[in-house]
Structure 1
Amino acid sequence: MKAIFLSLVTIFILLSSTCDRENTEGQMQLTGTIESQGMTSYQYGTHILNSEEEFYALKSDNLNLDEFVGKQVNVSGSKIEGYPVDGGPDYILVTEVSD
């Protein structure tokens, strides 16, 4: 009985650590200025990040991106699958913003 319990705990720990690695591997770091997004042809995202090379559509489930409008920031997040569409930019789910 103990062997079965230990085996299940070990499997659970291995699966948990694998899931964590997958989440952090998709993280990206971007630097640029956050701007409010007006009308666009691609119609996704609430804000944009203008970097030196390109721009990105942004959204966040836990941060108010309006607080960073007009500021040069570092953004941590991950690409949202299925984007870009309609000639638009990559779509980033923002998890952290720092000055």
Structure 2
Amino acid sequence: MKVFFLSLFTGLIFFAATCDREKTQEQMQITGTIESQGITSYQYGTHVLNSEDDFYALKSEKLNLDQFIGKEVKVSGSKIEGYPVDGGPDYILVTEVKEQ
């Protein structure tokens, strides 16, 4: 009985560790200007990136995007699956920002 519960517990821990909270796609790079998100109808992201052709909602789990507000940057990241919603932009999980 103990072996069963130990195996079950180990399996659950492994499953939880390997599951992504948010599914992302391939890495991409976009150049543009980072701005504060502000109030929006789509309500996701902490910042936006305005590029020549489009704009993107951004978030980062590792970087403070506030330090890049108003700057021309190249953002590396991946689209978060399930977005856009409510007529909003693509949602990008940012992994790296380089000033231009």
TM-score by length of 2: 0.74
CA distance in 2, matches of 1:70, 1:36: 9
Q: Which residue of 1 aligns with 2:15?
A: none
Q: Which residue of 1 aligns with 2:73?
A: 73
Q: Which residue of 2 aligns with 1:37?
A: 37
Gaps of 5+ in 1: 1-24
CA-based RMSD? 0.8
Q: Which residue of 1 aligns with 2:28?
A: 28
Query: 1:50 Cα deviation (Å)?
Result: 0.1
- AA aligned to 2:45 is G
Q: Deviations over 1:1-36 (max 9, x none)?
A: xxxxxxxxxxxxxxxxxxxxxxxx700000000000
- AA aligned to 1:77 is G
Query: 1:89 Cα deviation (Å)?
Result: 0.1
Q: Which has the higher strand share?
A: 2
Query: 1:67 Cα deviation (Å)?
Result: 0.3
- AA aligned to 1:84 is P
Aligned identity (percent) is 80
* Other structure's SS at 2:89 match: coil
* Other structure's SS at 1:26 match: strand
1:52-71 aligned within 5 A: 52-71=52-71
* Other structure's SS at 1:67 match: helix
Q: Deviations over 1:43-97 (max 9, x none)?
A: 0000000000000000000000000000000000000000000000000000000
CA distance in 1, matches of 2:81, 2:38: 22
Equivalent pairs counted in the alignment come to 75
Q: Which has the higher helix share?
A: 1
